[in-house]
Amino acid sequence: MNDRLRGTFFGMASAVLFGLSAPFAKLLLSGAGPLFLAGLLYLGAGAAFLLVRTSSQEAKLTRADAPLLAAAVLAGAALAPPLMLWGLLRLSGLTGSLLLNLEAPFTMALAVALFGEHLSRREALAAALLVLGGAIVGAHGERGLTGSLLGALAIGLACLCWAIDNNLSARLALKDPVTVVRIKMLSAGAVNLVAGAFLESRLPAARIAAWALVLGAFSYGASYLFYLKAQRILGAARQGALFALAPFAGAALAMPLLGDRPSVADLAGAVVMALGLVLLVRARHAHRHQHHALDHEHLHLHDAHHQHAHDQHAHDGPLVEPLVEPHSHPHHHGEATHEHPHVSDAHHKHRH
């Protein structure tokens, strides 16, 4: 499996796992407040990844990464989940799931406008189709249901917070993903549980808490790990487009789980989203481009972008021969100009 297909698989897996969380969370909200539930979801994710071993080959987090990680925790973990759950209290599971579609365009807009990423015309069309498909499915979302403008606004703000988090996380995607997941999930869980203790009077029952921990391990922990892996390969903008599958997955589950019924619009939206996904997977972007000098650290192979010599001694002692790949160490990229298919990964932030 080539890198692009592997990144697409990780991106789709991340989207589906997270999308399925909304209908289940809607059920759990009957026995827990939004802050307590958000705390348990993240605590479950963090606790699960305490059992996962980190790789010695991955680049480690440093003090320089702390501001980015703290901002990602604040936007994507401390603010977004309570806003989403508060909104779900005032909306149907189907409508709440479909509103998550706002995360994709927010992520793509920030990635292109502020963080130097790019989308080709075909990729931009694919992203638009994915978003349009979600919009078609959601066009009838409140029919026969008692919705709330405030609930929709809360979920919209949650999506904006997640879009900020996604773009910040793309700066951390080259570091050890298991460590990033642990720190982010446990920090967010602690913040939300403390807030729930002060602001919510209702403690969740043991059964609700147990299910929340399990749901968090998969729909938050595993989903975020796959998201980081996809961002490392594809960049934030393309992963943002793939994440447009999340609300559709949630809406599909809400139908049997919560009793919502599909319509012609649901089927039409599914066709449009499938077309967008095919276009995104098949899109190729290649042109002559220049690499400026760059110093950074991440897990890598000695491919066309990593032709460098190694010192005789590593930071913690002599290197062992033969050199094992992939490996991670600080390295320098010299200036280069060439042409090949590429995406907006860490090595291809350039103007078009």
Please give the pLDDT value at position 138: 53
- Cβ atoms of residues 77 and 188 within 8 Å: yes
Spatial neighbors of 54 by CB under 8 A, at least 6 apart, are: 176, 178, 179
Please give the pLDDT value at position 190: 93
Please give the pLDDT value at position 248: 77
What residue spans define the domains of the chain?
Answer: 3-287, 293-334
Q: For residue 44, report the phi and psi dihedrals to the nearest 5 degrees.
A: -60, -40
Look over the chain and give the mean of its residue pLDDT values, rounded to a whole number. Answer: 76
Please give the pLDDT value at position 193: 93
116 or 272: which leads in pLDDT: 272
Please give the pLDDT value at position 335: 60
Average pLDDT value for residue range 308-333: 52
Residue from 70, 76, 89 nearest 28 by CA:
89
Calpha distance 193→170 (Å, rounded)? 27
Answer yes or no: is pLDDT of 143 > 70: no
Question: Where do runs of H (alpha helix) occur along 149-205?
Answer: 149-172, 177-199
Answer yes or no: is pLDDT of 14 > 60: yes
Give the DSSP per-residue string, 203-247. PPPHHHHHHHHHHHIIIIIIHHHHHHHHHHHH-HHHHHHHTTHHH
Q: What is the pLDDT of residues 25-78, one digit of tens each?
A: 989 998 998 999 999 999 999 999 998 887 667 778 888 889 989 998 899 888
Please give the pLDDT value at position 326: 53
Please give the pLDDT value at position 280: 66
Q: Judging by DSSP bridges, how do beta strands 294-300 and 313-314 pair with one another? A: unpaired
Please give the pLDDT value at position 28: 93
Spatial neighbors of 198 by CB under 8 A, at least 6 apart, are: none
Q: Which of 125-134, 135-144, 223-232, 238-247 has the highest mean pLDDT?
A: 223-232
Q: What is the pLDDT of residues 168-209, one digit of tens each?
A: 888 887 788 888 889 989 998 999 999 999 988 888 999 999
Chain position carrying tokens 């033969």? 322
- Cβ atoms of residues 94 and 155 within 8 Å: no
Please give the pLDDT value at position 112: 81
Read off the pTM.
0.70
Least confident of 84-93, 130-139, 291-300: 291-300
Calpha distance 72→68 (Å, rounded)? 6
Residue from 303, 346, 277, 269 nearest 8 by CA:
277
Q: What is the pLDDT of residues 155-171, one digit of tens each?
A: 889 989 988 998 888 88
